[in-house]
């Protein structure tokens, strides 16, 4: 099968990975979305269920509980057991605050930090406590999953997707590339021949139809394509150019950086990510402008549009913007 242009191929491939995380966080950095998930104990009820139609998480889960809750709740061990949870097996005490480290120091209790994401976890706790400016005991505290080969305990719950779902999403996202207004021309420009483009499009079409990924009515209703079948940005609804997969975002004069890697088009979640809902799924992923993605953040499209409408209305009321209808008259 002819390969896609390298930059596009990498961009689609990376959609199956989680977003970045640094050493001060408990999360893994850029790993597959089917990795072990970390569930905060307070969200155990809503986040412990795998995606609809699946009966388990492919790489399991680890529940994280705060020291305050674990040590100060009466009969906590019995409560956890009734929920199928046990420290050191599928649950860890997670230290984030220096006060908790001092009050419930795990080292004085003879506890070991966890080192395995699979049963048994080889420890009872994990710690990520930032440095402070205090002169005494203000150093960074990192315990558990700190080695190069095992950095980070797992991924955020809402980032999870099974291998099968990741595969289907990649197929659908490639289809959305081919539905861009100038997809074929851009593919030629970046190294594909006419025959390669035809072959690749036919292959993608067959695979998408096999998995039910080309329901045009659903794609339109989810703001992924226009009514005439062209890929659009889910927020602004502008038809997108395939060049956006290869072109970097414009930088403000005098504030440019030489190693910028952000392209004009990025993965866009139609329904925002949140615990208890798995956003990485078919018909919820599209390609949107980088700046539109930044505006939406974690608020979601509907809430963002309401906010934008209020902003425009206030500017009209104060006379900073003249509505088109009034300007035309």
- One domain for residues 225 and 154: no
**Residues 110, 195: one domain?**
no
* CB-CB contact of 112 with 124 (8 Å): yes
Same structural domain, 225 and 284:
yes
Shared domain check, 142 and 23: yes
Give the C-alpha separation, 53 to 183, whole Å.
34
Q: Are residues 155 and 167 in the same domain?
A: no
- What's the whole-number mean pLDDT along residues 62-77? 97
Domain match, 171 and 292 both: yes
Residues 125 and 170 in one domain: no
Stated pTM of the model: 0.90
Task: Tell me the pLDDT tens digit for each residue of 18-68.
Answer: 987 787 899 999 999 999 999 999 999 999 999 999 999 999 999 999 999
CA–chain centroid gap for 324, Å, is 38
**What pLDDT does 91 receive?**
98
Residue 53 lies in a domain: yes
Could you list the residue range(s) of the whole structural domain that residue 118 is in?
17-159
Helix, strand or coil for residue 111?
Answer: coil
Is residue 12 included in any domain, yes or no?
A: no
Q: Say yes or no: 114 and 228 in one domain.
A: no
The pLDDT tens digits for 105-149 are 999 999 999 999 998 999 999 999 998 765 556 889 999 999 877
Are 178 and 138 a contacting pair, CB within 8 Å? no
**Residue 25 belongs to a domain:** yes
212 with 290, same domain? yes
Q: Are strands 37-40 and 61-65 parallel, antiparallel or unpaired?
A: parallel
Question: Do the beta carbons of residue 159 and residue 131 sit within 8 Å?
Answer: no
Same-domain pairing of 191 and 211: yes
Using one digit for the tens of pLDDT, what is the confidence trace for 220-275? Answer: 999 999 999 999 999 999 999 999 999 986 644 444 444 445 789 999 999 988 89
b/e for 242-251, b at 16 or more Cβ within 10 A? Answer: bbbbbeebee
- What would the pLDDT profile of 139-198 be if each residue is shown by its tens digit? 899 999 998 778 899 999 999 999 999 999 999 999 999 999 999 999 999 999 999 999
The 3-state DSSP class for residue 40 equals strand
Q: Which residues contact 123 (CB under 8 A, 6 or more apart)?
A: 88, 92, 111, 112, 113, 114, 115, 116, 144
């Amino acid at each position: 099968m002819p390969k896609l242009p390298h930059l596009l191929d990498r961009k689609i491939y990376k959609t199956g990975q989680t977003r970045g995380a640094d050493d001060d966080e408990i999360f893994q950095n850029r790993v597959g979305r089917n990795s072990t998930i970390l569930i905060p104990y307070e969200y155990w009820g809503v986040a412990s269920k795998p995606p609809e139609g699946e009966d388990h998480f492919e790489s399991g889960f680890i529940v994280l509980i705060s020291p305050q809750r674990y040590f100060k709740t009466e009969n906590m061990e019995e409560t956890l057991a009734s929920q199928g949870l046990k420290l050191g097996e599928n649950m860890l005490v997670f230290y984030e605050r220096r006060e908790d480290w001092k009050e419930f120091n795990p080292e004085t209790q003879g506890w070991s930090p966890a080192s395995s994401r699979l049963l048994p976890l080889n420890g009872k706790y994990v710690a990520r406590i930032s440095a402070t400016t205090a002169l005494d005991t203000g150093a960074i505290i990192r315990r558990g999953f700190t080695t190069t080969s095992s950095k980070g305990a797992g991924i955020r719950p809402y980032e999870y997707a099974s291998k099968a779902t990741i595969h289907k999403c990649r197929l659908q996202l490639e289809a959305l590339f081919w539905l861009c207004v100038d997809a074929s021309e851009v593919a030629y420009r970046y190294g594909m021949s006419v025959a390669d483009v035809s072959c690749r499009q036919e292959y993608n079409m067959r695979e998408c139809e096999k998995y039910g990924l080309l329901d045009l009515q659903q794609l339109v209703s989810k703001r992924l394509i226009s009514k005439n079948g062209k890929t659009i940005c889910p927020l602004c609804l502008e038809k997108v150019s395939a060049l956006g997969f290869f072109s970097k975002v414009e930088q403000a004069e005098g504030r440019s950086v030489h190693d910028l890697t952000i392209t004009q088009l990025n993965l866009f979640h139609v329904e925002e990510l949140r615990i208890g809902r798995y956003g990485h799924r078919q018909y919820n992923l599209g390609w949107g402008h980088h700046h539109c993605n930044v505006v939406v953040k974690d608020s979601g499209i509907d809430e963002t549009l309401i906010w934008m409408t209020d902003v425009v209305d206030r500017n009209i009321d104060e006379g900073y913007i003249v509505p088109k209808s009034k300007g035309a008259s």
